[in-house]
Amino acid sequence: MSTNSTTYPNAHSAYSSQGTTTPEPEFELPQGNAPIHPTAVRTEHAITVDSERTVYTPEHITAKFDYRAAHVVRTPEGQIKVTPTVTPYEFRTARKVQKTGLMMIGIGGNNGTTLCATILANRHNISWNTKSGVQSPNYIGSLLRASTVRLGTDPATQKDVYVPISDMLPMVHPNDLVLGGWDISGAPLDAAMRRAEVLDYDLQRQIKPLMALIKPLPSIYYPDFIAANQSERADNLIPGNDKQAHLDHIRADIRAFKQTNDLDRVVVFWTANTERYSDIIPGVNDTADNLLAAIKSSHSEVSPSTLFAVAALLENAPFVNGAPQNTFVPGVIQLAERVGGFIGGDDLKSGQTKLKSVLAEFLVNAGIKPLSIASYNHLGNNDGHNLSAEAQFKSKEISKSSVVDDMVDSNRLLYKAYDPNATKEEAKNFKGKKGEHPDHLVVIKYMPAVGDSKRAIDEYYSEILGGGRSTINIFNECEDSLLATPLILDLTILTELLTRVQYRAPGAADFKQLHPVLSLLSYMLKAPLVKPGTDVVNSLNRQRNALDQFLKACLGLDHQNDLLLETRIW
C-alpha cells in the first residue's frame, strides 16, 4: 500500500462488526506492492514422506511411529537397570484445515489490538514508513512461521535440509483467522490501538479504517479479580451479577460468531488482565459438577477466566489461557476430560522467562551451580498497571518462579534432594519439599513513561570450582506486545492442528483424540499446564524438541538427532 495520505470513504458506515467477524470493508482498499515477507508467504503443503509406514489419502495422513523410551529401576544395591522399550503408535491427521475463528477476551488490549493490526496489515500487504525506512508486514517472532526444523540430509550434498515448521503439516495461515472477541472497554479497535501506543504511527494511520470496524463484545467484570485501577475502563459489560446468565450469554456469543462466519472451529483465548489466584474450595471448584453448581449459584470464587473457559468447553471451542492466574481449577480440567474439549495454558512466555529457562539449563548442564536468580522488571503498559496490585502480581510471581524447578531436579549432584531426616545443617538450603534450590526473586514495577517497552534485569549468581563465584548480569529491553502477539498466533494455530490429530495405541480398534490438556503448547507458556499426574517440563530445549518430534511422528519420521553417526565413523 502506498504510504501517502489515504482516505477511505464511509469507513465507519461501510461495515460494522460487534466483535463477530473480521471486517472485509465495502470500500476499496489499495493493495500493497511490496514483496511479501517470507514469514507471510502462503505455501501449499509440500512435504511427502516416501515410506510404507506413511499413507496419504485425500482426507488423512496416517503414519506408523515407534515410540522409543526406557524404564529405569534402581536396585536395593544401588545399581541402575535400564530396559529399552518400543511402543508402536499410529497417528492420523485430517488434511483439511478448518476455517478457524479466534475470539480473544481482552481484544481491546495491547496484545489484542496488535494481533488484529498485524493480521490485517499482512492480509492487505500494507507497508509503512518508519524513521529507518519502509517496513513490510511480517510474522517474525512466530515459532511456526519464522523458524525451521531439520528434516534430514540431502544425499547428493550431505547438507542438512531445513523447512519452516508451518510446512510440516497442513496448518491455518494466520491471514485466514477470523477475528473477534470481548473486552470490558467498548472502544473500537482503532481507538484501542491508539491507546496502546505499540504500533508505528504510519501503520496506525493506514490500518485505522479497518480497525475501526471491529468493536468488542460486552464482557464480564468481577472487580474482586483484577486491580481496582481497571475500573475506569469497564464501560462495556454484560449486565447483572448472575454468573449462570453470564455463562449462557458467552456461550451464545461463541455460537453466533461461529454461525455468522460459517466457521468449522473457534478458539477462545484469554489475553485480558491477570486475575488474582482463585481459592480451591472443596465443594465449589474441585469437580466439574461442583463448579457448574457454583456458577449456577453465582459463587464469589468463580473467576471471569474460569467462566469463559467453561463456556468455551461447553461449546466445543478450545480455550487457551495467556495469563498466569489459575483459570484451570480442578473442576475445569475434569470438565474438559468429560466433554472432550481442549485446554492449554498458562501465561505467555515471551522474554525474560524464556531466556531464564535457557540460561538456567545451560548453567546446570555445564555443571555450574546457580545459587540465586534475581529478576527485576518495569513496564508502563496496562499489563504493568494491573500488576501493580499485590494480588495480581502474586499470580505473575508464581508463574515466573517455577521455571527452573525441573532443571534443579535433573542434577542432584549439585542440589540435594529433600530428605525428611536431614540434619538442620544439611537442610539449611532446602526450600520446603523442593529440597535444595536456588534463591529466586521476581520483582515487577509499573513505570508509565516506558509504555510497552519493558525492561528486564537478571542476575545469575553461581558457585564454580573450589568455592568460587560467577555472576552473570543481563539487561533486556523488549516491546512486550510485539513479542507476545506471535505467541498468540502460534498457540491458536497449533491448537487448531491438534484438534485434527488422532492416535491409535497398540491393541486399540479405533483412533481417538489427544488428551484434553494440550501440553505440546508448552514452548510458548511460562507455567505449562500438563495432564494431571505428570511432571511439568520447563526446559525450553526439551519443549521445542517435543514439538518437533511430535510433528515428525505425525509424518512417520523418526526424530533426527545430532549424533551424526556418518561423520564419526569410517
pLDDT at 418: 85
* Arithmetic mean of pLDDT, 313-339: 96
Stretch among 269-273, 311-315, 330-334, 375-379 having the lowest mean pLDDT: 375-379
Q: What is the mean pLDDT of residues 205-224?
A: 95
More confident of the two residues 152 and 263: 263
Is 366 domain-assigned? yes
**pLDDT value for 505:** 95
Do strands 265-270 and 319-321 pair parallel, antiparallel, or not at all (unpaired)?
parallel
Tell whether 9 is covered by a domain.
no
Cα separation, 221 vs 106, in Å, equals 11
Which DSSP helix (H) or strand (E) runs through 344? strand 343-345
The alpha carbon torsion through 401, 403, 406, 409 (nearest 10 deg) reads -40
* Residue 277 burial by Cβ neighbours in a 10 Å radius (0-12, 13-18, 19+): middle
State if pTM tops 0.95.
no
Task: Inform me whether the pLDDT recorded for 7 exceeds 80.
Answer: no
Q: Which residue has the higher pLDDT, 125 or 391?
A: 125
For 377-426, how does the pLDDT look when each residue is reduced to its tens digit (9 = 90+)? 887 776 666 665 565 556 555 655 677 888 888 899 999 888 888 887 77
Q: How many domains does the structure of the chain reveal? A: 1
Q: At what angle do helices 288-296 and 243-260 cross, to 10 degrees?
A: 100
- Classify burial at 155, counting beta carbons within 10 Å of its beta carbon; exposed 0-12, middle 13-18, buried 19 or more: exposed
Range list of H helices, 315-436: 330-339, 352-365, 382-387, 390-401, 405-409
Helices (H) and strands (E) in the chain, counts: 15, 19
Task: State pLDDT tens for residues 112-122.
Answer: 999 999 999 99
CATH number for the domain spanning 379: value is 3.30.360.10
391 located within any domain: yes
Tell me: pLDDT of 554 over 90: yes
For the CA atoms of the chain, what is the radius of gyration?
A: 25
- 299-302: list long-range contacts, CB under 8 Å, 24+ apart: 299/243, 300/224, 302/243, 302/278
Residue 145: φ, ψ to 5°: -95, -20
Retrieve residue 270's grid coordinates.
484469554
- Beta strand 453-463 with 148-153 is unpaired
pLDDT-based confidence at residue 226 (cuts at 50, 70, 90): confident
The answer to whether residue 469 is domain-embedded is yes
**For residues 183-220, b (16+ Cβ closer than 10 Å) or e, as one string?**
bbbbbbbbbbbbbbebbeebbbebbbbbbbbbbbbbbb
The pLDDT of residue 19 is above 60: no
Three-state DSSP at 436 gives strand
Residue 241 domain flag: no
Residue 49 lies in a domain: no
Of 103-107, 148-152, 295-299, 557-561, which gets the smallest average pLDDT? 557-561
Question: pLDDT at position 464, please?
Answer: 96
Distance, CA of 366 to chain centre:
29
pLDDT digits (tens, 9 = 90+) for 361-388: 999 999 999 999 998 888 777 666 666 5
* 339 against 19, higher pLDDT: 339
In this structure, what C-alpha cell is assigned to residue 131? 524513521
pLDDT of 450 above 50: yes
Instruction: Say whether pLDDT at 435 is over 80.
Output: yes
Burial class (CB in 10 A: 0-12, 13-18, 19+), 232: exposed
Higher confidence at residue 269 or residue 386?
269
Contacts of 561 (CB under 8 A, 6+ apart): none
Residue 5: band (very low, low, confident or very high) from pLDDT cuts 50, 70, 90? very low
Report residue 196's pLDDT band, with 50, 70 and 90 as the boundaries. Answer: very high
Does residue 33 surpass a pLDDT of 70?
no
Q: Is residue 498 part of a domain?
A: no
Give mean pLDDT, residues 527-547: 92
* C-alpha cell belonging to residue 119: 493480521
Report DSSP state, residue 419. -
Arithmetic mean of pLDDT over the chain: 89
User: Which residues, 6 or more positions from 107, have their beta carbon under 8 angstroms from its beta carbon?
Assistant: 19, 113, 116, 179, 180, 181, 182, 183, 189, 214, 216, 271
For residue 162, what is its C-alpha cell? 531445513
Which pLDDT value is given to residue 558?
84
Out of 39-48, 293-302, 389-398, 454-463, least confident range: 389-398
pLDDT value of residue 123: 96
Q: What are the backbone angles phi and psi of residue 488, rounded to the nearest 5°?
A: -60, -40
Question: Residue 197 corresponds to which cell in the numbers above?
Answer: 501506543
Q: Compute the residue count for the chain.
A: 570
Q: For residue 156, what is its C-alpha cell?
A: 547428493
**pLDDT score of 107 more than 90:** yes
Whether residue 165 has pLDDT greater than 70: yes
297 CB-near residues (< 8 Å, 6+ apart): none
CA distance 201 to 520: 37
pLDDT (mean) for 173-198: 96
Lowest pLDDT segment from 27-31, 322-326, 411-415: 27-31
CB 278 within 8 Å of CB 285: yes
> What single string gives the DSSP state of each residue in 159-226?
-EEEEEGGGSS----GGG-EEEEEESS---HHHHHHHHT-S-HHHHHHHHHHHTTB-PEEB---TTTS
Sheet of strand 469-479, all strands in order from the earlier edge strand to the far edge: 439-446, 369-379, 453-463, 469-479
Q: Which of the two residues, 212 and 478, has the higher pLDDT score? A: 212
pLDDT at 400: 56
Sequence letter at residue 75: T
Closest to 548 in 3D by CA, of 173, 168, 161: 168
Tell me the backbone φ, ψ of residue 264, rounded to 5 degrees: -90, -30
Cis peptide before 346 (omega within 30 of 0): yes
Residue 459 belongs to domain spanning: 352-479
* Cβ pair 353, 525 in contact under 8 A: no
Grid coordinates of 450: 516506558
Strand partners, 82: 72
Contact 71, 83 (CB under 8 A): yes
Higher per-residue confidence, 407 vs 52: 52
* Residue 489 within any structural domain of the chain: no
Active site residues: 347, 396, 454, 526
The residue among 432 and 68 whose pLDDT is bigger is 68
Q: Give per-residue pLDDT as tens, 490-523.
A: 999 999 999 999 999 999 999 999 999 999 999 9
